[in-house]
Structures are given as C-alpha cells and as structure tokens.
Amino acid sequence: MSLTFKEFNLSPTIQKSLDEMGYINPTEVQSRVIPKVLAKEDLIVISKTGSGKTGAFGIPMLEALERDENGPKALILTPTRELAVQVDADLKAMSKYKSIKTTVLYGGHGIGGEIEKLAKGVDIVTGTPGRVFDHMTQGNLKTGNIQFLVLDEADRMLDMGFIDQVKRIVKKIPDNRVTLLFSATIPPEVQKLCVTYMKNPDTIEIESETKTVDTITQFYYKVEHNEKRKQLHRILTVEQPESCMVFCNTRMTVDKVNEFLQHKGYTSKALHGANSQTNRMKSIQQFKKGDFEVLVATDVAARGIHVDDLSLVVNYDVPQDKDNYIHRIGRTGRAGNGGRAITLVTKDDQYTLYEIEEHVGVLIPQEELPTDDQVNAMPKRTPKPYVQKGHEVDSKRKPHGPRKPHESSKPHESSKPQEANKTHESRKPHHSTSSSVSNKSQGPRKPYEPRKPYEQRKPYEQRKPYESNKPIEANPINGVDKTKVASQAPGPVKPQVQAITAETQKPVSFLKKMINWITKK
C-alpha cells in the first residue's frame, strides 16, 4: 500500500490545503525528506528536477512555523525570478487555511513594494540572492529569527555566479537553524559550501539511472546549421504538440526563431533576460493556461517553469553546459507524465553531444528527419504575412488602392508629343533676362554670322557713340527724372591711349624738375 500525506500527521489546516491541491500520495523525495525536516535535521538532497522538491521542504516548514510578528522565520534562495515566484505561489496555496504570510523578493522591478510588505511583517521570504542581499544591507530584512534556510537549485546558483552572495547571506543568519540544500548535481564548490555552513548534514539521493526523468523519450536529429529553422518547422508539423518549449543559447536566436514560428502560423512567444519582468511573468502564466502553443526561451527559464502537461521539449541549440541538458528536458515528463525531448545537432555539436551522453550515462539515439510524405500528410498551417517590427498593419483597416490623379493636375508640356512638322525655326526664341529690351519686341533668333577678321574691323575712333534705343521716362516711384540722366549720357569715347599718355606726362615732368633741382645744388 502506498504512503499518503495523512500518515505524516499534519495539522488539519495544512491537510485541507493539500487535499484541495490534489496531493494524495507523496513522491519519493517528499516521503524521505518530510520526516527529517520535521525532526529539524540538516539535509543535502540530490534529486532530479520535477520530483516535488517544493513540497518536500514547504510542507514541513509550514507545519512547524506559526504566525509571529518578530520577523521572518524562513528564508528560501532560488537562482531565478521565475522559480522564486513559483515557489512562493506553491507556499501560498499550501498555507491557504493557516495564518502564514509569505512574500517574494527579486530584481527587475521597483523595490518600494517589497519594502512595504517586509515592514508589515512576513513569516517566509523567497527570493533571488542579489535582491535578498540588498534588503539585508539596507536593513529591510531582519534575519535574527530565521529558523529555516533553504538553498534551492544550489548548482544553478553556482553557475550564475551567486555563490559569493549566498555565502554572505548565510553568514548573517543565526547558527541555530535548519539548513536544507537541494540540487540536481553537487559540484565541488557546492560540496565545500555544505561542509562549511551545515551541521552534520544527512545526504538523500534519489537514484536515477539516467539522472533525468525516466518517462522522457530522448533522441536527436542531425541537421545542417543553415537548415535548423526549416527542420524545426517540419518536426513540429509532424509532432503536433499541444504545448512545446524550444530552448536556444542566445537571446538573438530566441527572437529569430520566435519570429520564424509566428510567420509559419504558430502561436508562440519569446522568453529571455531582455524581457521586462512583467512581460516574462505574463508570458509564463499564459503558457501554463494554454493561451499559446510554443514558448521559445533561453536557459534562464529552464528551472523556473513548472508545466505538468508539457509534451515536447526541443533543444534548438545543444546546451553549452552539460547540466543544462538535464534541466531543459526536465520541463517535460513531470509528475510521472510521458514526454519527448528532441535535440538538433550540427557537425560542430557532435563532440558536445558525446559529453552529454557520458554525463547522463545513456546513449541518445539518432532518428531520421521527417520525410516529405510525413510532412504533407499532416494538416498545414496558414502562414502569416511577414510584418516588419514597428510597421504592424491594422486588420480592420481596408487596404489602399491605386492612387487617383488630382482633378486640377495637368500633364506637363514636356510630356506632350511634339508635332512632326515642327521645324527648328518655328520654336520659341531664347530670351536673355539681362537684356534691357522687352522679350515681346524680339523676333526670331538671327542666324550665326562668323566674326570678321581683325584687319576688316573699323577703327575704334569711327565707332558710333552710345545711343539709347528707348527714351527714358520719369520714375513715378522714387521721383527721379530719368530724362535728366539721359541728357547726361556720355559722348564719343576718346581713345584710351591718349588718356594714358596725358597722365604719364605729369610724373615725367616732375621727375625732370627734381633732377634739375639736385644738380643745381
């Protein structure tokens, strides 16, 4: 006969909450951890993801704690914001009928609301190491009465560089506490942390032949790097998953894959660190409710999303860290449900795949890519038109037709065809804007006459003087009588040579006088 939660002799308030949540039989990790936590023993729990670790430490903590105004009694550290929010939500559900207040602390949003909640008084605090340490430094989080310290996903906190902050936090917590460390793997640095800050901890390891969920079917496809998106579409067409997570190594790849899937007709969203915290939490909740089919994410969300009915996980990129492979595919096959994990492997990823197989202790089989017949046999999706970001088109708005010419607009004269019998002489003459003669008085342009040789030109003295072609009238605007100006018109121009000679005679005569004056003296 299998064990039930009622055999732990829990309080009626906790048991009622568990009944409403559908918790009847504890998992293996829960059945082995809960009695020892109730006995207030330090524990190191090595367990695969999705095994019910939150209930393993949450249920006995809620059973042991009572409402108190002297500050928090338990502190839970998690590596990611999503996991912190998930843990806090589970604790709230478990303590629904017990007067225990919980709160969650994480970065990416305003700190004012968190300070207000801490000031009102809480019993259990869940948060990321960075934000928790900030509150402790500012004096918002009192740690003098903490009785339980939980380090959830300790190896992940080590990978993300939080281990130094974790050590600083642990040093400020009283020594007479219960310390619980949960991790999928125990690297040397985490082992050193356990030896330094835990009191004779007992180690509980949930054995698994492959270190992954046993109910997951794992295989990989060999693809070319430039065909990964095309093959992903064909794989999803054949698999037809109700819900799917696609993991990529970089944010840029996540955005490109998400945009590609949306263009192919999938309802998908992107999830990575560049999204605001509000959008990330909203996307996670929508994915859990089934509002869209595919969630494309980086490893930042690998341990923060708990979806019981996730049927497919696709490693679009082979994870760079071997442990990330375990955490990625652990999103499916939770709570004993079956699941599938597919990995797209290129030539450059082959050696990394061998390392993953050695790490998990199992050979991952290779499968043939879906054939054209398999793809064509499946119902096709309606591709959505590609719309560039920032240029979204309103679906209710009617498309524009061809633009009609304006009624007042006329074709330009240059666009009219010229008549065939139009000769060069009949064209309009070219008018100079600098001429004093009116354009209307000018006739057709005269034919070009070559200039006469220099010898045939008239002497300068025989040229006609300046004469006005048109009498000048008085200007009524400024009152100047132009007839007077016309009477002062210059006469015949004297030769320039004579003027120059007359001018040069003066300095010559003056020079002679000066020479004579000097010689006389």
The CATH number assigned to the domain holding 368 equals 3.40.50.300
pLDDT computed for residue 393 by the predictor: 46
Supply the pTM of this predicted model: 0.55
pLDDT tens across 316-336, in order?
Answer: 999 988 878 888 887 776 555
| Strand boundaries in 71-177, DSSP class E | 74-77, 102-105, 124-127, 148-152
Between 513 and 257, whose confidence is greater?
257
Instruction: Kindly tell me if the per-residue pLDDT of 154 is higher than 80.
Output: yes
251 and 164 within one domain = no
Instruction: Kindly tell me if the per-residue pLDDT of 399 is higher than 60.
Output: no
Instruction: For residues 284-308, give the mean pLDDT.
Output: 79
Round to whole Å and give the CA distance between 128 and 162. Answer: 9
pLDDT computed for residue 362 by the predictor: 79
pLDDT computed for residue 66 by the predictor: 86
Instruction: For residues 10-18, give the mean pLDDT.
Output: 93
Per-residue pLDDT band at 499 (split at 50, 70, 90) = very low
Q: Contact 25/50 with Cβ under 8 angstroms?
A: no
170 and 261 within one domain = no
pLDDT computed for residue 360 by the predictor: 78
- Of 377, 403, 421, which residue constitutes the final position of a domain? 377
Three-state SS at 324: helix
pLDDT computed for residue 78 by the predictor: 92
Exposure of 293 by Cβ count < 10 A (0-12 exposed, 13-18 middle, 19+ buried)?
middle
pLDDT computed for residue 432 by the predictor: 45
Q: Contact 338/217 with Cβ under 8 angstroms?
A: yes
188 and 124 within one domain = yes
Three-state SS at 483: helix
238 and 143 within one domain = no
Helix (H) or strand (E) holding 152: strand 148-152
Domain membership of residue 457 (yes or no) is no
Round to whole Å and give the CA distance between 280 and 269. Answer: 10
Residues in CB range of 92: below 8 A, 6 or more apart: 102
pLDDT computed for residue 68 by the predictor: 78
Residue type for position 273: G
Q: Contact 93/16 with Cβ under 8 angstroms?
A: no
pLDDT computed for residue 70 by the predictor: 81
Range with the poorest average pLDDT among 139-153, 184-198, 447-461: 447-461
Q: Contact 114/147 with Cβ under 8 angstroms?
A: no
| Total number of domains in the chain | 2
Per-residue pLDDT band at 518 (split at 50, 70, 90) = confident
In the chain, % of residues over pLDDT 90? 40
Round to whole Å and give the CA distance between 233 and 239. Answer: 10
Q: What are phi and psi of 407, to 5 degrees?
A: -65, -40
364 and 310 within one domain = yes
pLDDT computed for residue 424 by the predictor: 46
Residue with tokens 């936590």: 37
Q: What angle do CA 366, 222, 238 make, to 5 degrees?
A: 80
pLDDT tens across 414-453, in order?
Answer: 444 444 444 444 454 444 444 444 444 556 676 766 666 6
CA proximity to 48, closest of 190, 200, 209, 163: 209
Per-residue pLDDT band at 383 (split at 50, 70, 90) = low
306 and 175 within one domain = no
pLDDT computed for residue 134 by the predictor: 93
Instruction: For residues 18-45, give the mean pLDDT.
Output: 91
Instruction: Kindly tell me if the per-residue pLDDT of 257 is higher than 90.
Output: yes
- Of 205, 231, 247, which residue constitutes the final position of a domain? 205
Domain of 148, in residue numbers = 5-205
CA proximity to 125, closest of 82, 163, 92: 92
Range with the poorest average pLDDT among 236-240, 381-385, 459-463: 459-463
Residues in CB range of 392: below 8 A, 6 or more apart: none
pLDDT tens across 96-146, in order?
Answer: 999 899 999 998 788 999 999 999 999 999 999 999 999 999 999 999 999
- Pairing type for strands 312-315 and 244-247 reads parallel
Between 494 and 28, whose confidence is greater?
28
232 and 343 within one domain = yes
What average pLDDT does the structure give for the chain?
A: 78
- Of 359, 377, 395, which residue constitutes the final position of a domain? 377
